[in-house]
Chains A and B, each alone.
Chain A
């Protein structure tokens, strides 16, 4: 052990005692005690609705607790605003990195955005001084970023690095990361883990929130599980994650791997010599009835593009598709849906949901949207038709909601994703395309969704996921797509390349 690390681990950075917070009749946090030590990564776990966000929002100064005390570096800490919290040394990197900068700003500008907003910044900025300061910030964080690139062109991984670099430049002593790997590929996640390990060695205390067990197993020094606003599991290394997950969902996880099963020989969908781009390798793929096939691969490898192309949003550069042995070449989503090929897009809020106040913002409206012409050929909407379809979906998938008229914003992430699935199972489909179906879905709901997908014996299912663990849990066959080339998954790199080598050295 590195002597400096050993010395700093004893120091408690942030301590919360007896935190209570309720929203009306709902008790979100019920006497939570939490300690984060310098040089440690604390994994904060919990199903959606367990109180994680409330706790983070209290620490980040967004919400004030009803009861309880917090100390930061030994002194009382009572932030009145997020800005206040940052000034005190608690920086939060949210899951959505859109709010860190804006298109039109350079990366350097985005790095300095919070300085621009503070009164210390000079009125006039020269390009050179901005660049110099930005270079200093990334040097301090120990990362590299394309400083002159437009922020709008940065990928999610780089945006996250911008947020972290900014937190470090603001002298954060506690860093809170909310689902930081949700939109990262495994290589990018590995780069993030290296950085976090480095920050840990420098004495930062890190609170890490994630649904991905492999991330937590790689990183966490301590795991705390919230359930119903209380801490139900608290352990330091070695952490028994099976026990943690059991505490989190209140029952043991059924199985981590999909059970091998016999698949019918009936080919539903066939891809022949299909090229995503003019110069990329041709892809051949047969999907059988009742089969679940997962495609993994790093971000930008073309997983989403492959799904969208099958859905008719882009044409293939060359090659052909067959659906039930007939030629299939959709001119757009409407034709694809009519043929029985449906897509549940990545990021359900962006690709599937309408605003809660608008017509169609309910569970019933979300499910019926693609089927309006089919269900209401004369144009007149009949609420009872929509509602009974929604009720059927709610029953089949065990969606926790007040009824078909519940708006999507009242549902947890897992239940929202179940609504998306209920939509595409409301009418028989031939091929179900799912792009990252487990984003922001807790472990319990994930098991229900996996069961619902695998129970579907009529149609084929093609899933794009950057998480190999998810693929293993759901798929009968797994492929990897890298550089637009599709290969059967060889069983290697199950866990993201973590910083294990580094920690041995340290």
Chain B
């Protein structure tokens, strides 16, 4: 038995330079959440509410089911890609290749249907397989060759951006495409494939939105409620500790990159089906948008770490802001600026203001 005096003493951790916060100084008292922390936790939701009220006030057409669903449809691809990045961030990595994976899969899907004349199912399977292979290549570079995550995936991003141009000699893919050998492609986008981007469930819910909801729900459960998610975070939080606890760290990192590339391929499928042609510039802003969503997600509920729900909220937050501003006739060229400003604000909230008192 320890004496009560020593207990009282031992319960007060040394307050000092370390990150030991004041909140930790009195473990016996139920944690009291100061107003500033609560404000940080709900900041994104408060701002979201302000946006909704403000835009509705300025433009009544904003708050209609059709408009809000169109916002969700617009952000669905970014949210799906962002969920993938989030998983790679959980293992302590960063997948910068997702934009190019999605874009090159737009081209791959188009090429499969237009040039090879494949059907919807074969095309989807081919694209998913392509995604898995790229995920494995990323994992090979990172896990086996030990190239730092950012560098490996940036290089693959570069490589794929170039690769997608080669089969068509840099041309976009549509029926009648002149191939490098002089013949013209006779296939076309099949209706079953186009449905991925254009169909509505129950006549109202766009299929991409449903896909987004399914992907986000699945990944949320995977990362937050299963042991695989816990192990992902263990690898990202302290790889040595995870390894010494018997976790298969290399397989976990491989898994994260395969998940990320597969989700990016699904994003590519949606884009291809929505646009209905293999546009060489279709993936241009996807990478930055989904990385931004994942980083804004850090600020959601003041999580200060990658989290799938936060990523989805981040994507929707930016989507609503852009939609509202567009309705208020803000110029399209200001969009990237707005996204950047939101990201800077969210990061400041997470890192600067959210830091625990020293």
Residues of A at under 8 Å CB distance from B?
Answer: 23-26, 28, 47-54, 56-57, 62-63, 227-228, 249-251, 311, 332-334, 336-338, 343, 345, 350-361, 365, 369-370, 372-373, 376, 379-381, 398, 400-403, 406-407, 409-412, 414-415, 442, 444-445, 448
A360-B234, A406-B27 known; A444-B10 Cβ under 8 A: yes
* In contact, A345 and B17 (Cβ under 8 angstroms): no
Q: Can you list 18 A-B pairs with a CB-CB distance of less than 8 A? A: A25-B25, A25-B26, A56-B16, A57-B17, A251-B6, A334-B248, A352-B244, A356-B19, A357-B305, A359-B224, A360-B234, A361-B237, A376-B227, A381-B230, A409-B21, A410-B25, A412-B12, A444-B6
**Nearest Cβ distance between residue A2 and chain B, in whole angstroms?**
37
* B348 contacts partner chain A, Cβ-Cβ < 8 Å: no
Please state if A28 and B230 are interface contacts (CB–CB under 8 Å). no
For B16, the chain A residues whose CB sits under 8 A away are: 53-54, 56-57, 62-63
Is B63 an interface residue when CB atoms closer than 8 A count as contact?
no
> Contact: B241 with A352, CB < 8 Å?
yes
Nearest residue (CB) in B for A29 is: B15
Residues of chain A within 8 A (CB-CB) of B5 are 250-251
Contacts of A379 in B (CB 8 A): 226-228
The 3 closest A-B pairs by CB, nearest first: A410-B24, A402-B27, A53-B16
Contact of A228 among B3, B8, B27, B246 (CB under 8 A): B8
Give A505 to B231 CA distance when docked, in angstroms: 59
Which residues of A sit under 8 angstroms from B20, Cβ to Cβ?
A: 409-410
Residues in B neighbouring A28, C-beta threshold 8 A: 12, 15
Is the beta-carbon distance between A355 and B230 smaller than 8 angstroms?
no
A372 vs B1: C-alpha distance when bound (angstroms): 31
Contacts of B303 in A (CB 8 A): 357
Query: Are B244 and A333 in contact (CB-based, < 8 A)?
Result: yes
Minimum C-beta distance from B41 to chain A (A)? 13
> Is residue B238 contacting chain A, with contact meaning CB distance below 8 A?
yes
Cα–Cα distance between A401 and B9 once the two chains are bound (Å): 12
- Are A249 and B26 in contact (CB-based, < 8 A)? no
Instruction: Tell me which of A250, A351, A398, A403 contacts B9 (CB under 8 A).
Output: A250
A351/B10 contact (C-beta < 8 A), A360-B230, A402-B27, A409-B24 known: no
Number of A-B contacts (CB under 8 A): 173
List, in ascending order, chain B residues with CB within 8 A of A357's CB: 303-305
CB neighbours (8 Å) of B228 from chain A are 379
Question: B245 contacts A369, CB within 8 Å?
Answer: yes
Query: What separation, in Å, do the CA atoms of A142 and B230 have in the docked complex?
Result: 51
Tell me if A354 and B10 are in contact (CB < 8 A): no
Contact partners of A381 in chain B: CB under 8 A: 225-227, 229-230
- Across-interface contacts of B9 in A (CB, < 8 A): 47, 49-50, 227-228, 250
Not counting A228-B12, A251-B6, A445-B10, a sample of 12 additional A-B residue pairs whose C-beta atoms are within 8 angstroms of each other reads A26-B22, A53-B15, A54-B14, A250-B3, A333-B243, A338-B246, A369-B230, A379-B228, A401-B27, A409-B20, A415-B10, A444-B10
In the complex, chain B residues whose CB is within 8 Å of the CB of A360: 230, 233-234, 237
Closest Cβ of chain B to A33, distance in Å, is 20
| Shortest CB distance B358–A (Å) | 9
Closest B-chain residue to A403, C-beta based?
A: B27
A56→B14 CA distance, assembly (Å)? 11
B1 cross-chain contacts in A, Cβ below 8 A:
398
Given contacts A26-B12, A52-B14, contact A380 B225 (CB under 8 A): yes
The chain A residue sitting closest to B224, CB to CB, is A359
What distance in Å separates the Cβ of A73 from its nearest Cβ neighbour in chain B?
Answer: 25
CB-defined contacts of B329 to chain A, threshold 8 Å: none
CA distance A370 to B240 in the complex (A): 13
Assess A334 versus B10: contact at CB under 8 Å? Given A359-B233, A360-B233: no
Alpha-carbon distance between A445 and B6 when the two chains are bound, in angstroms: 10
CA distance A92 to B22 in the complex (A): 24
Shortest distance from the beta carbon of B128 to any chain A beta carbon, whole Å: 22
Does B64 interact with chain A (Cβ within 8 Å)? no
Contact yes or no, A26 B227, CB < 8 A? no
Q: Which residues of B contact A409 (CB under 8 A)?
A: 18-21, 24
Q: Provide the bound-state CA to CA distance between A398 and B242, in Å.
A: 26
Cα A366 to Cα B234 in complex, Å, equals 10
Contacts of A372 in B (CB 8 A): 227, 230-231
Q: Is the CB of B236 within 8 A of A358?
A: yes
A residues within 8 A CB of B244? 311, 333, 343, 345, 351-352
B13 within 8 A of A: yes
Shortest CB distance A454–B (Å): 16
Complex Cα spacing A355 to B356, Å: 13
B 153-170 binary contact with A (CB < 8 Å = 1; else 0): 000000000000000000
- 0 or 1 for each of B281-307: is its CB under 8 Å from A? (1 = yes): 000000000000000000000011100
Closest to A356 in B: B19
- B28 near A355 (CB under 8 angstroms)? no
- Which residues of chain B are near A337, meaning CB under 8 Å? 245-246
Q: Residue on A with the closest CB to B246?
A: A334
B305 with A358: CB separation less than 8 A: yes
Contacts of A370 in B (CB 8 A): 245-246
Cβ of B7 within 8 Å of any chain A Cβ, yes or no, is yes
Residues of B24-69 contacting chain A, CB below 8 A: 24-28, 31
- Does B241 contact A354, Cβ atoms closer than 8 Å? yes
CB neighbours (8 Å) of B245 from chain A are 333, 337, 352, 369-370
Interfacial chain A residues near B10, Cβ < 8 Å: 47-49, 400, 412, 414-415, 442, 444-445
Give min CB distance, B6 to chain A, whole Å: 5
Does any Cβ of A come within 8 Å of B186's Cβ? no
User: Which residues in B have their C-beta under 8 angstroms from that of A414?
Assistant: 10
Q: Mark B242-265, 1 if CB is under 8 A from A, else 0.
A: 111111100000000000000000
- Residue from the list A358, A402, A444, A448 in contact with B28, Cβ < 8 A: A402
A251-B3 in contact (CB<8A):
yes
Residues of chain A within 8 A (CB-CB) of B242 are 369
B11 at the interface (CB under 8 A from A): yes
**When chains A and B are docked, how far (Å) is the Cα of A448 from the Cα of B10?**
13
- A169 CA to B182 CA, complexed, in Å: 78
Q: Does the CB pair A49–B11 fall under 8 Å?
A: yes
Complex CA gap A251/B3 in Å reads 8
A56 contacts which chain B residues (CB < 8 A)?
A: 16
Pairwise interchain contact B25-A24, C-beta atoms closer than 8 A: yes
Least Cβ–Cβ distance between B70 and chain A, in angstroms: 35
In the complex, whether B2 has a CB less than 8 A from a CB of chain A is yes
Determine the chain B residues whose CB is within 8 A of the CB of A62 once the complex forms: 16-17
Question: In the complex, what's the smallest C-beta–C-beta distance from B184 to chain A, in angstroms?
Answer: 51
B249 → chain A, closest Cβ, in Å? 10
Q: Are A353 and B238 in contact (CB under 8 A)?
A: yes
CA A336 – CA B244 in complex, angstroms?
Answer: 10
**Contact status B246-A23, CB under 8 Å:** no
- Interface-central residue, A54, A336, A354, A398, by most chain B CB under 10 Å: A354
Contacts of A311 in B (CB 8 A): 244
Is B14 touching A48 in the complex (CB atoms < 8 A)?
Answer: yes
Q: Is the CB of A351 within 8 A of B241?
A: yes
Question: How far is A37 from B9 in the complex, measured between Cα atoms in Å?
Answer: 29
Report yes or no: B15 in contact with A23, Cβ–Cβ below 8 A.
Answer: yes
Whole-angstrom CA separation of A405 from B241 in the bound complex: 19
Q: Which residues of A contact B240 (CB under 8 A)?
A: 345, 350-351
Report the minimal beta-carbon distance from A343 to chain B, rounded to whole angstroms: 6
Distance in angstroms from A416 CB to nearest chain B CB is 9
User: Which A residues are in CB contact (< 8 Å) with B248?
Assistant: 334
With a cutoff of 8 Å between Cβ atoms, the chain B residues found around residue A352 in the complex are 241, 244-245
Q: Closest Cβ of chain B: how far from A44's Cβ, in Å?
A: 13
CA distance A188 to B229 in the complex (A): 44
CB distance from B290 to the nearest CB of A (A): 22
Q: Please, how many angstroms separate the alpha-carbon atoms of A358 and B242 in the complex?
A: 13
